[in-house]
Structure 1
Amino acid sequence: MCNCRADIEKRLTDHYRPKLAGSRDVEAKLMGYALTLGKGLGIQPYMPAEIRHTVTVKKTGADKRKTEKVNFYFSHCPFCGEKLQKDK
C-alpha cells in the first residue's frame, strides 16, 4: 500500500505546528479511514455520502424527504491512484 496517508498527515502537522505556537503535541489525522474486517484486519480509506430521496407516506399520501447515510469505500488510493491491496 502507498504511504500517501502518512505523508499527508506529516505535511499537515508540519504546516499547522507553527500556526499553533502555544500548543504542544500537534498532530494532524485524516479522518476518512476505517478499520475493516475481512480475512484480516486492515485500514481502508472511505468517504461518507448522503443519499437524499422523496417517498410517499402510505397513510397520508404526503411526500416526505428522507436522507440515508452510507460510506463509500475506495479500491484505489484517493490521492495517488495506487490500487489498494486486499487483506491476505
Structure 2
Amino acid sequence: MNQREVQRCSRSGQTADASLRLYGATVLLECVVGADGSPERCEVLNPTPAAQRHEAVFQCMASHLRWIHADGTSAEGRTVRTTLRVQGTW
C-alpha cells in the first residue's frame, strides 16, 4: 500500500448551514476516497447517541470535503478518517 500523505481540503463556508443545530457535537468518520476526492461509504466510528441521531447531517458535512495526496495526485481508493466537530458561535 502506498503510504503517501493524504490531505483534506474543504470548500469553505459550505458546512455552516448543516451544523447550526449541532453546536458542540463531534463525530469520527472513516470513508473511502472517491474518484473526485470526495468521501464515499462513510462509517461512524464513535456511534454515540448524538452521532447516531445526526448522522445524516455529519454525512452532509463530510460530502463537502475532498482528499488528495500531498503531491496533488488522486487519493482515490484510500481509506481516510476525519473528525468533524461543530463548535463556535452561530
Same fold (TM over 0.5): no
For normalisation by structure 2, the TM-score amounts to 0.23
> For the pair shown, which has the larger CA radius of gyration, 1 or 2?
1
For normalisation by structure 1, the TM-score amounts to 0.24
Higher relative contact order, chain-length normalized (CA < 8 Å, sep 6+):
2
Instruction: Identify the structure with the greater helix proportion.
Output: 2
